[in-house]
Amino acid sequence: MREESLAGGHGGAARLGELIPVALGAMAAGVAERGGPVPAGGPAAVAAALTAAGGGTGTLPRTGVGAERALAELSHLLAAGSADPADPACAAHLHCPPLAVSVAADVVASALNPSMDSWDQAPVASELERAFTTGIARLCYPDAPGADAVVTSGGTESNLLGLLLAREAAPGVPVRPVCGANAHHSVARAAWLLGLPAPVVVPCEDDRVLPAALAGALAAVDGPAVVVATAGTTNTGAIDPLPEIAALCRRAGARLHVDAAYGGMALCGPELRSRLAGLDQADSVALDMHKFGWQPVAAGLLAARETGDLAALSVRAEYLNADDDTEAGLPDLLGRSIRTSRRPDAFRMAVTLRALGTDGIGALVERCCATASDVAALVAEHPGLRLLAPPALSTVVFRPVAADELPEPDEFVAGVRRTLLEAGTGVIGRAALPTGPDGAPRLWLKLTLLHPHATVEDYRALLEKVVATADAERAAAPGSPVVS
Residues 143-182 that bind a second copy (CB under 8 A): 153-157, 164
Closest CB 482 distance from a second copy, rounded Å:
28
Helix (H) or strand (E) holding 73: helix 67-80
Based on the shown chain and the rule CB under 8 A, indicate whether residue 28 belongs to the binding site for a second copy: yes
Stretch that binds a second copy, among 26-34, 210-218, 369-377, 475-483 (CB under 8 A): 26-34
- Of 130 and 273, the one with the shorter C-beta distance to a second copy is 130
- Of 127 and 405, the one with the shorter C-beta distance to a second copy is 127
> With b meaning 16 or more CB within 10 Å and e meaning fewer, what string describes 166-181?
bbeeeeeeebbbbbbb
Based on the shown chain and the rule CB under 8 A, indicate whether residue 194 belongs to the binding site for a second copy: yes
Query: 67 and 3 in contact (C-beta within 8 Å)?
Result: yes
Based on the shown chain and the rule CB under 8 A, indicate whether residue 83 belongs to the binding site for a second copy: yes
Query: What CA–CA distance (Å, rounded) separates 390 from 405?
Result: 24
Closest CB 215 distance from a second copy, rounded Å:
27
Name the residue type at position 190.
A
φ, ψ for residue 178, nearest 5 deg: -130, 125
Based on the shown chain and the rule CB under 8 A, indicate whether residue 264 belongs to the binding site for a second copy: no
Judged by CB under 8 A, the number of residues near a second copy is 172
| Residue ranges in 52-81 that form contacts with a second copy under rule CB under 8 A | 55-67, 69-71, 73-75, 77-81
What residues contact residue 469 under an 8 Å CB cut-off, 6+ apart?
A: 416, 419, 420, 423
Cis, peptide link before residue 169, omega less than 30° from 0: no
- Of 246 and 459, the one with the shorter C-beta distance to a second copy is 459
Closest CB 21 distance from a second copy, rounded Å:
7
Reported residue count of the chain is: 484
- Of 83 and 218, the one with the shorter C-beta distance to a second copy is 83
Closest CB 211 distance from a second copy, rounded Å:
25
- Of 278 and 444, the one with the shorter C-beta distance to a second copy is 444
Based on the shown chain and the rule CB under 8 A, indicate whether residue 110 belongs to the binding site for a second copy: yes
A 10 A CB-CB count for 272 gives: 20
Q: Classify 5 as helix, strand or coil.
A: coil
Binding mask 311-350 for a second copy (x = CB under 8 A): ----xxxxx--x-xx--xxxx------xxxxxxx--x--x
Binding mask 419-448 for a second copy (x = CB under 8 A): --x-----x-xxxx----------------
Among 33, 52, 173, 189, binds a second copy (CB under 8 A): 189
Strands (E), 281-406: 284-288, 300-304, 385-387, 395-400
Best CA proximity match to 153, nearest among 296, 23, 280: 296
Query: 244 and 211 in contact (C-beta within 8 Å)?
Result: yes
Closest CB 338 distance from a second copy, rounded Å:
7
Based on the shown chain and the rule CB under 8 A, indicate whether residue 224 belongs to the binding site for a second copy: no
Based on the shown chain and the rule CB under 8 A, indicate whether residue 104 belongs to the binding site for a second copy: yes
Query: What CA–CA distance (Å, rounded) separates 294 from 190?
Result: 26
Query: 146 and 307 in contact (C-beta within 8 Å)?
Result: yes
